Amino acid sequence: MIKIHDLSFQVKDRFLLKDINLEINKGELIAIVGPNGAGKSTFLSCVANEIQYKTKHFSFKDKDIKSYKRSKIPLHRAKFSQHQSNEINLKNEEIVLMGRYPYFKTEADLSDLEIVEKWMAKTETSHLTDREYEQLSGGEKQRLHLARVFAQLENNIENKLLLLDEPLNNLDVAHQFKTLHLIKEFTQKNNTALVVLHDLNIASQFADRLILMNKSSIEMFDEPKKVLTQERISRVYQYPCIITPHPENQQPIILFG
C-alpha cells in the first residue's frame, strides 16, 4: 500500500522529520503514537501531500505518490484533520455531503444522499440534521467530519487509504470506541488507516502495528506487544510506567506513574 524511503521535512535548519523509512500493507490499522512534538501530525501531512517533503522513494499502491492526478487522489485517499473550522455556513448534512464532491459536478444524486444518510447513522449524527453547526459540541462536530471522510471513500475503488489526525479528541469514551470499531471495519475490507492517537492503551487494543515516533524520527515500528515495553515507553515519554497484560486479549496496558 505505502512504501517510503528516506523521507525528511525541515523548516529552515530544523528537521521536523528525519530518516523516515517504512512499508505499510493493505488492510492494516496503523496507530501513530509518541510524545508532543515527535512529528506525528507532520508525518501524516507528508502522507497527505500537504507539505513539501524530501524523499528518495514514496509510492502509494505501487505508483509514485506524485503521479496521481489531483482530481483523482480524493477517490483513493481521505484525511481527517484535528483542527476543524468553527464557522461553517452549511447545514450539517451538507458538511457530510462535502465528502461526495469528488463524485459529482453540480448536484448530488440519490446514491450520494443515501451514502450521507448511511454515515450519519453510523456516526450517530442523524439527529443533528436540523441543528445549527455553531451550536454543536466539539464531539458532535468531530463525528460529523468523521462521517464526511467515510462518505468520501464509499466507492468501488480497492485498497483505499484513510488518514486520521487525533480523531478521538472531544469524544466521550463510548464514541471513542465506536469510532475505532468503524475504522477497524474499514481496514477489514482491505483498506488501510493511519491514525494519530495519544491514548496508548486504545492504540494497543486496536492497532495491527504501532509507529512510535520520538524526536522527529521513528523509534520503532512493530506490533503493540513489541513496541510497548516498560523501558522504551518510560524513556520516550520521560515518565515512569509499568506494563500489564489486558485480562481478555493479553495486549499491553500501560499504567503511568
Summarize pLDDT for 152-172 with one digit per residue, the tens.
999 999 999 999 999 998 899
Place of cell 487522489: 73
Domains of the chain: 2-256 (3.40.50.300)
Q: Rounded mean pLDDT of the chain?
A: 93
Residue 106 has a pLDDT of 85
Residue 87 has a pLDDT of 67
The answer on pLDDT for 7 being more than 80 is yes
Sheet of 217-222, strand order: 77-80, 161-165, 192-196, 29-33, 209-214, 217-222
The answer on pLDDT for 97 being more than 70 is yes
Residue 66 has a pLDDT of 84
Pairing of strands 63-64, 57-60: antiparallel
| Highest mean pLDDT, choosing among 9-13, 93-97, 211-215 | 211-215
Residue 88 has a pLDDT of 75
Span 36-41, average pLDDT: 95
Residue 85 has a pLDDT of 65
Summarize pLDDT for 52-87 with one digit per residue, the tens.
999 999 999 999 988 888 889 999 999 998 776 666
Number of C-beta neighbours around residue 44 at 10 A: 22
Distance CA 136, CA 144 (A): 10
